[in-house]
Structure 1
Amino acid sequence: MKTIILNNYYPHLTERVMLEVSDEIAVTLSIGGRLCDSYKRRKREHDECSLDSTPGFEADVTFSPLTPEQVLEDRENRAALYAAIGQLPPVQARRVYAHYILGISRADLARAEGVGISRISGSIDRGLLNLKNILENPI
């Protein structure tokens, strides 16, 4: 038999209460306490928060579902963007696509192609200007 202090498990108790419990119950309570502590630590380390804590907080961290019109507009914009990228010179198209769509850094692109970063940056910047002209003035 082990003696536990109930105040550790029930903090609302005002006076100190000690209770003898069987070994199995003591082990179960100990495991539950460790799980609770590890959850609190993980919550603190990953900046986890409850959406129920502050009224109006949900709107800051969640996205409302897209309407059918927004989905259609997104598809049309994406199709226009890919068509415009297809009209760029091949090198510019490849570099703009790799940097902005695939998320590859300019330094990694330069290393992969064996050229300087300034050449990659210039090509991407010219590609963006060409994209702007293509999208603003469709043929």
Structure 2
Amino acid sequence: MTIINLRDFYPYYTADSFIEVPDEVAEAMAEFDRREAAYRLRTYRHKAYYSLDREDGIEHSALFVALSPCEIYERKVTMQELHAAISSLPGKQAKRIYAHFVLGMSKTDIARAEGVDEKAVRLAIERGLRNMEKFLKNNF
């Protein structure tokens, strides 16, 4: 059994209050105190004195800025133009560009899935991008 001073662990205690606790409890409280001190030191060193996460939505509104109606319309038009450009491509080029840029697959993974050489996928994507560029310049 260990005797601890509650004033060391609880800031609202204004006078010393000694109690006897099991060794495991004393060690757990000491460990928590050490971790809390380490956290305060890390906060000080990295100048992270505050957090926007207050569960009132302030962090969300700071990270995800609301778009104006003009920006929303511009994005919609841009997406329509991109979909039109992709749909103007031959089937293989369109599928490979979609898989690479939208689905995030690597060119090697696309080649493996289609059972072709990686160079063929790379060249098809490059030709497809050039064709899309021509389509967008001519039509928009």
TM-score (structure 2 length as normaliser): 0.65
Distance change (3 Å), C-alpha of 1:31 and 1:3: closer
Counting only pairs closer than 5 Å after superposition, residues 56-67 of structure 1 correspond to structure 2 as: 62-67=63-68
Distance change (3 Å), C-alpha of 1:80 and 1:10: same
CA contact (8 A) 1:110 1:117 kept: yes
Q: Give the aligned partner of residue 55 of structure 2.
A: none
Q: Give the aligned partner of residue 129 of structure 1.
A: 130
The alpha-carbon deviation at position 32 of structure 1 amounts to 9.7
CA contact (8 A) 2:5 2:19 kept: no
Q: Give the aligned partner of residue 4 of structure 1.
A: 4
Q: Give the aligned partner of residue 120 of structure 1.
A: 121
Please give the alpha-carbon distance, in whole angstroms, between the structure 2 residues aligned to 1:117 and 1:108.
8
Please give the alpha-carbon distance, in whole angstroms, between the structure 1 residues aligned to 2:104 and 2:5.
56
User: How high is the sequence identity, in percent, across the aligned residues?
Assistant: 33
Q: Give the aligned partner of residue 91 of structure 1.
A: 92
CA contact (8 A) 1:3 1:19 kept: no
Distance change (3 Å), C-alpha of 1:23 and 1:103: same
Q: Structure 1: 5+ residue runs without aligned partners? A: 12-16, 53-57
TM-score (structure 1 length as normaliser): 0.65
Offset from partner CA, 1:70-120 (integer Å, 9 cap, x none): 111001100110111001000100000110111111000000001111110
Counting only pairs closer than 5 Å after superposition, residues 1-139 of structure 1 correspond to structure 2 as: 2-5=2-5, 9=9, 19-21=17-19, 23=21, 27=25, 30=28, 34=32, 37=35, 40=39, 50-51=50-51, 62-138=63-139
Q: Structure 2: 5+ residue runs without aligned partners? A: 53-58
- Give the aligned length: 121
The alpha-carbon deviation at position 68 of structure 1 amounts to 1.2
3-state DSSP of counterpart to 1:88: coil
